[in-house]
């Protein structure tokens, strides 16, 4: 008895993978930065004593998802690089952008969020002052600078991949 298995070899649609990953990352970052955190601030949750630990959990999970997205984007950018998906100069820039995104995600996960959470936990909840320490403010400023760079990089990569997938026809 011969059993022949037929495995259909299908190439992965790398354009779809990177478009979905970039779109998910971009939209979830926008949701977290401009909807979830401001609504928590308006509701007064940021003045609650347990906000630092809640923020550490929320951002910890999200930052690990960001690392996965960045690693996937770097993988696809290497596939694009070796398949010559873009012109040579754009391929190199694409690869540099993907590496920067991974570095930003790693910096969030292992540097920024642990430090900001530690500063949040160090705030004395029984003191009359509800002002953030200067060091925590500088960590937030650095976070927002990296976040702006991340939005620019993700937006550029998303635009390039979309234009590569759906070229404009005249």
pLDDT in tens, 153-162: 999 999 999 9
Q: Which two tokens stand for residue 27?
A: 């939209």
Q: What is the C-alpha to C-alpha distance for residues 36 and 49, in angstroms, rounded to an integer?
A: 18
Q: What is the C-alpha to C-alpha distance for residues 95 and 157, in angstroms, rounded to an integer?
A: 10
How large is the average pLDDT for residues 110-137? 71
In a domain, 76, yes or no: yes
- Give the confidence band of 81 by pLDDT, cuts at 50, 70, 90: very high
Q: What is the C-alpha to C-alpha distance for residues 142 and 148, in angstroms, rounded to an integer?
A: 10
In a domain, 164, yes or no: yes
Residue-range definition of the domain harbouring residue 110: 58-119+134-170
In a domain, 33, yes or no: no
In a domain, 24, yes or no: no
Looking at every residue in the chain, the average pLDDT score rounds to 86
In a domain, 10, yes or no: no
Which residue carries 């690392």 as its tokens?
Answer: 67
Number of domains in the chain: 1
pTM across the whole model: 0.86
Residue 53 pLDDT greater than 70, yes or no: yes
- Give the confidence band of 5 by pLDDT, cuts at 50, 70, 90: low
In a domain, 22, yes or no: no
CA distances from 14 to 57, 73, 81, 85 (A): 32, 10, 12, 10
In a domain, 125, yes or no: no
In a domain, 41, yes or no: no
Q: What is the C-alpha to C-alpha distance for residues 167 and 162, in angstroms, rounded to an integer?
A: 8
């Amino acid at each position: 008895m011969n059993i022949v298995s037929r495995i259909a070899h299908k190439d992965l649609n790398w354009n779809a993978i990177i478009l979905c990953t970039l779109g998910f990352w971009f939209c979830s970052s926008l949701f977290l930065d401009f909807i979830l955190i401001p609504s928590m601030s308006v509701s007064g949750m940021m003045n609650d004593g347990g906000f630092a630990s809640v923020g550490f959990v929320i951002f910890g999970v999200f930052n690990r998802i960001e690392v996965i997205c960045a690693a996937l984007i770097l993988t696809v950018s290497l596939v694009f690089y070796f398949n010559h998906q873009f012109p040579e100069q754009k391929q190199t820039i694409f690869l540099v952008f993907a590496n920067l995104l991974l570095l930003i995600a790693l910096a969030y996960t292992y540097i920024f969020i642990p430090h900001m959470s530690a500063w949040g936990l160090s705030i004395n909840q029984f003191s009359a002052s509800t002002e953030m320490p200067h060091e925590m403010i500088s960590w937030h400023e650095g976070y927002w600078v990296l976040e702006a760079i991340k939005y620019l990089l993700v937006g550029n990569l998303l635009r390039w991949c979309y234009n590569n997938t759906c070229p404009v026809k005249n």
